[in-house]
Structure 1
Amino acid sequence: MSSGSSMPHLRRLLILLPVLLGACGVESTFTGEDPAQLWRALQAVAEAPTYDEGDVTKRWTVVENIVDVDNVDWRIDITRHLKRLLRRPGAKPLYEERHWRFEIQLLHEDPPRVRFICIDPAIPTKVQYEGDRFFAEVRSLLSGYPRPAHLENSVDASPD
């Protein structure tokens, strides 16, 4: 292979690299929700995440969860360390660790919209899943279902 024929591939890689390694995220609109109540629910879920899904391939243990809340700008910064040992039939056990840095921003719009961004380079589908998981937990909390046990000692998500 000559060096001339590899240039188009290199050029494509250089164009795609920022896209693949850049910050990515998801957004969700919370129609009909009071922004103050939504803000408290976002904090509660950020401070007490759960990863004990029914599907064992989606279960993680939270090793560290550092949450910084900015009440002025309605922004939550999360640094999270997860680990798991995945055992599947017929396969060797797989040890995995994930380090995440997220920014959750409640946008001052009507209806309220929340932006969930992964600050570090990440695979977009993993960020999409993590954002969807976060939003599902927030919606569950806002829906009036009984609070899951892991949220009992976190920020009060009831209206003032």
Structure 2
Amino acid sequence: MSRHPEVLWAQRSDKVYLTISLPDAKEVSIKCEPQGIFSFSAVGVQGKPFDFSLELYGKIVPEGCKSNVGLRNILCSIQKEQKGWWKRLLKSEEKPAPYIKVDWNKWCDEDDEESTNPDIASDDDVAYAGKDDGSSDDEGMLYLPDLEKARGN
């Protein structure tokens, strides 16, 4: 039986960001379909399968979907078909599943986005550029593997 990893989400007018918390994920499979279907599956620690599928609020551009598999999580950047702010992540008006939460660290309100300079790439875009230096995304907090790496062990 598969399980659901924790999924954090945030949006900009042109993108939706998903952070899937699944340390040491293997066999990661991500599928984006134009009508707004996002599917994820992976094998976690001890060979446990994880998967979920989301019907997003609006249509997306599959070619504009990028992902980056890190040590602790999988970062996904999903390009919206039309620029604009979605009322919610999912098409359904029901309360989202308990494993889906807002990513307040990446959240940006509509009026906040307009005040930023569009010519400068945001930190979020850089995080999804495809590089993983092995460090965490927890704003300076170091974990044991990071400390060992820093010490040269």
Q: TM-score range with shorter-chain normalisation? A: 0.3 to 0.5
Q: Which has the higher helix share?
A: 1
Q: Which has the higher strand share?
A: 2
Identify which of structures 1 and 2 has the higher relative contact order when contacts are C-alpha pairs closer than 8 Å and 6+ apart.
Answer: 1
Larger-Rg structure: 1
TM-score by length of structure 1 reads 0.37
